[in-house]
Amino acid sequence: MPKPQPIDYAAASPEVRAVFDDIKASRKVEDVNNFWKYLANDPALLQRTWFSVKEVMTPGALDQLTKELIYVAVSVTNGCGYCIASHSAAAAKAGMTDAMFGELMSVVGMANETNRLANGYRVPIDAAFEN
């Protein structure tokens, strides 16, 4: 297996094209992102991932912007360069302003800090949080 390569629409199987078409229609975009072109190497993985992402990111009890902010928060915590870039763009498209991004980073930074302080001081869970 050499380094994974993207599969473009032109070279894609009908099965993969159907997913690409659904992504393009759902997101009103001309072409799918690299992420989907790489997953296309495994059509079952592509299909399952797209249907899951589509279902999960549909506005419900949480609106689309909030969901994208959460996606960025996780991606920044994990240090996934691709995901930070793509979901920052998606969040901006959903309405994230520069001020919101600054506050998002502030919360993410603080949470990553206090998570470790709680670990290091071995803080037991308060009884009130166990009910």
Footprint of a second copy on 37-66 (CB under 8 A): 38-39, 41-42, 44-45, 48-49, 52-53, 55-57, 60-62, 66
Q: How far is the CB of 90 from a second copy (least distance, A)?
A: 10
Q: Please spell the DSSP secondary structure of 49-84, one letter per residue.
A: HHHHHHHHHS-SSS-HHHHHHHHHHHHHHHT-HHHH
128's tokens:
């009130």
Binding of residue 28 to a second copy (CB under 8 A): no
Spatial separation of the C-alpha atoms in residues 77 and 67, rounded to whole Å: 16
Footprint of a second copy on 72-131 (CB under 8 A): 72-89, 91-92, 96-126, 128-131
122's tokens:
């071995």
Query: Which one of 2-10, 11-19, 20-28 is the stretch in contact with a second copy (CB under 8 A)?
Result: 2-10
